[in-house]
Structure 1
């Protein structure tokens, strides 16, 4: 069964009495994206938008070349080695050339008919040749803005601007590609207009400075007050202390044994093993490349994050959109006292197939002191070491014989905290003002043991849960969380 607002025993010994929660801003609502065809098929972009205002801007002239290079790689991969062996090198080269030229022409035509401009507090993006489409993105729905620079963009001094809005199923209006300075200026302008009560005005002055990376004109170093720079040495060591890295010697030994054993040698088996090893190593290698030179800064209520080696990213996340903060202690990191911090951001596209597109990185690796300092910056007044949680009742051991003492939940003055995990310990912190709904659920075994789980839902979609609480305590906790969430959003 599932309920959200029921009060039973307000004097339960498991949790303290209600404490007034600090007022914070509530979450935003869903997106409003208008789609309107501005003209017939094949109509060129006018220099001035209808009704006056600033002229529409096109993407950088090198954008078709970068898109054409991507298409060329796809074409060559699609033709494959077998095609080369059948038709010969000459015909193969001719096919690649024709297909690459066709892809380049399409990229140029697409670039010529793509543009953008800011109208009031909306970003409008125009695209399409035969089927024209206009996307109007209300800036008050803006969740996060990031400047992404893949390897080819770094080599040519370009960048891609990506936006996330409330309720978006995927990244909205990716503008690929812009000059680095133009992308930084547009990002700052959009964030300025997205602020409450901001009236449209001229472009704010911003300066893009070079940073480390391949090529020139790297994304600007995060402005504002620096919070923390992750040492690349710690990042490398942290990924070596993963099960994937520790199992690598066993995989190498197996491959060597396959080669040395004449009776069991098999090329297919060895190739399969090498492929599996590459897949196992892909995740830690990607994390090192993605989080290289990780820098975190605070600037007027926003987090500024810069990271990446082959693909650099400069993200801007408003703190008002942060729904939860997650803390993780992997088993092999505990000897060094390391932890990892993650964010849950309201409205961010959880359906993105690539987790690198989610702005959830807060601290890839760090010690307890650094983690506590950063959590205090994101959630003022919250001390990570001061969050107390209580265990489920003893009878919950029938459901969790090994992990009962690893789960818990507790109420702080400003946040709800829940922990879980036996091998990899996790703690999720939810400010009361970010709670969207509270649910109490029971499975068949829980009903026999008079237990229940209290789920706390947020606008980010993940939330957290207090697992296997006493039934009376679960109902009290659900009512208490509902009351505190209401008090935090309506302090008057």
Structure 2
């Protein structure tokens, strides 16, 4: 981004050249960067997505009642209507950067302008669904502090345009937050995509095996036997019965299949003070998460993975991870599957100085077994040099690691049974995330732990 005597961030000198794919400037006020429209093929892709939704909404029973001909006409009419609405929406949608804000304009009868302060930017990702890959397009998604969902989904842009806009937004956000000076290459126009330092690439064979070691995969043979028994007993092979059964079976295996498709060719890179994640088969994603926005690192050891020594790593990003219902849309993937050595190396990149196997975890007092007779041995909590760590889980072991600088509040909670046993739970809350909770600690220890967490959080945020 230009600084010093260069053009201002909101000046026309920052707009992509007219030859950029999908570029369609809309005149704005004098001295303000012209608004840019999305790619002209955007209405076509939105119409195709609407067609899939329409077919799914009409369901198999509608097809059996009205017949294939009427069903096809209904689909075509509804899809054309959705496409016309998509064209109108595209014509009235535009975006541009004004100072340190991204402004998105949309609406025909009711005009709406969203101004997203870039200093609150948490993560940026470039998503390419299957149809977007076939047409050379991409979708840009932004996540900000306090947002319960994606704030500015720009769908769709050309791939080069989306990558350039992503770099520009991150540059403005980094300068707004830390006062950094933009590189000289940025003064000449759009900054190039940085190469990044490779950290880890997950083997697709390990990803496939990891999803075979899930409860859904083990239950699938029993489901097939049940379906075969139903068909043999009923003696009916009607279209509705087959379609309904296949739909039910698809629901059983949807989660492991979706994880394989989402995490295919997973690759983690480091770009200076940011992480870049690339993954996906049918829908490719490039997610960028600033390391200073990371609130919590979560480690998970599923029961069936322990025989191979595998674990999973996830992030919590402020204002995002807890608010998104669909976990596919969360920028929290750090390692979908890997061994302990790989997990240690990645955790050290995200949280310098933290060793995964050297965290000082201590168990709760023995009387906690009256509340958790099976899982008390799995509980643990401790204060490291830079982080607060909590271990929990019986069948699926979990470890939450929270840097002291990310702790927003500390709570000591007692339930009725805990009061009788003089136990308490200490919660370390983070911005918009679940944080960490040390369950069933001795009451005196719990208050001392809470006081120490508060002191270390203040010290970690104090300017040095």
Superposition TM-score tier, normalisation by shorter sequence: 0.7 to 0.9
Q: CA deviation at 1:255?
A: 2.8
Q: Kindly tell me: are residues 421 and 96 of structure 1, through their superposed partners in 2, closer, same or farther at Cα, counting changes over 3 Å?
A: closer
Superposition map of 1:73-84 within 5 A = 73-80=52-59
Partner of 1:145: 124
Distance 1:133 1:81, change over 3 A: same
Residues 1:241 and 1:132: Cα distance change in structure 2 (over 3 Å): same
Alignment of 1:60-75 (within 5 A): 60-75=39-54
Choose which of 407, 410, 418 in structure 2 pairs with 1:446. Answer: 418
Residue 13 of structure 2 corresponds to none
Residue 383 of structure 2: aligned partner = 411
- Which consecutive residues of structure 2, in runs of 5 or more, have no partner in the other structure? 1-23
* Alignment CA distance shift 1:266-1:438 (3 Å): farther
| 1:223–1:304 contact (8 Å) kept in structure 2 | no
Specify every segment of 5 or more residues in structure 1 that has no aligned partner in the other structure, as ranges.
1-44, 208-221
SS in 2 for 1:457: strand
Query: Structure 1, residues 341-362: CA drift from partner, whole Å, max 9, x if none?
Result: 0101112163323111111110
Structure 1: distance between partners of 2:210 and 2:396: 14
Match of residue 205, structure 1, among 183, 191, 196: 191
Q: 1:73 to 1:274 in 2, by over 3 A?
A: closer
- C-alpha distance in 2, partners of 1:249/1:94? 39
Query: What is the CA–CA distance in structure 2 between the aligned matches of 1:88 and 1:432, rounded to whole Å?
Result: 63
Tell me the SS of whatever aligns to 2:36: coil
Counterpart pick for 1:388 among 360, 372, 389: 360
Alignment of 1:321-340 (within 5 A): 321-340=293-312
2:348 maps to which of 376, 385, 391: 376
What's the CA shift string for 1:111-161, capped at 9, x where partnerless? Answer: 111111111111111111111111111100000000011111011010000
**Corresponding residue number in structure 2 for 1:306:** 278
Give the 5 Å matches for 1:131-170. Answer: 131-170=110-149
The 1:70–1:483 alpha-carbon spacing in structure 2 relative to 1, beyond 3 Å, is: same
Residue in 1 aligned with 2:454? 482
The DSSP-based 3-state class of the residue aligned with 1:52 is coil
Q: CA deviation at 1:252?
A: 2.1
Partner residue of 1:467 out of 439, 442, 445: 439
Q: CA deviation at 1:206?
A: 2.1
Please give the alpha-carbon distance, in whole angstroms, between the structure 2 residues aligned to 1:80 and 1:333.
38
Quick check: 1:258–1:270 contact (8 Å CA) kept in 2? no
SS of the residue 1:173 aligns to: coil
1:460-487 residue CA offsets vs partner (Å, 9 max, x unmatched):
3200111101110000000000000001
User: Given the alignment of the two structures, is residue 238 of structure 1 paired with residue 224 of structure 2, yes or no?
Assistant: no
Corresponding residue number in structure 2 for 1:354: 326
Quick check: 1:121–1:194 contact (8 Å CA) kept in 2?
A: yes
Size of the alignment, in residue pairs? 432
Give the distance between the partners of 1:169 and 1:128, measured in 2 at CA.
22
1:57 maps onto 2:39 in alignment = no
- The answer to whether 1:101 aligns with 2:80 is yes
Do structure 1's residue 285 and structure 2's residue 257 form an aligned pair? yes
Corresponding residue for residue 342 of structure 1: 314
- Per-residue deviation at 1:109? 1.5
CA deviation after TM superposition for structure 1 residue 274, in Å: 5.2
What corresponds to 1:40 in structure 2? none
Q: Specify whether residues 475 and 292 from structure 1 end up closer, same or farther in structure 2 by C-alpha distance, changes over 3 A only.
A: same
Cα RMSD (Å) of the superposition? 2.3
State the secondary structure of the residue aligned to 2:35.
coil
Alignment partner for residue 115 of structure 1, among 94, 112, 123?
Answer: 94
Query: Does the 8 Å contact 1:164/1:349 carry over to 2?
Result: no
Task: Work out the CA distance in 1 between the residues paired with 2:56 and 2:293.
Answer: 41
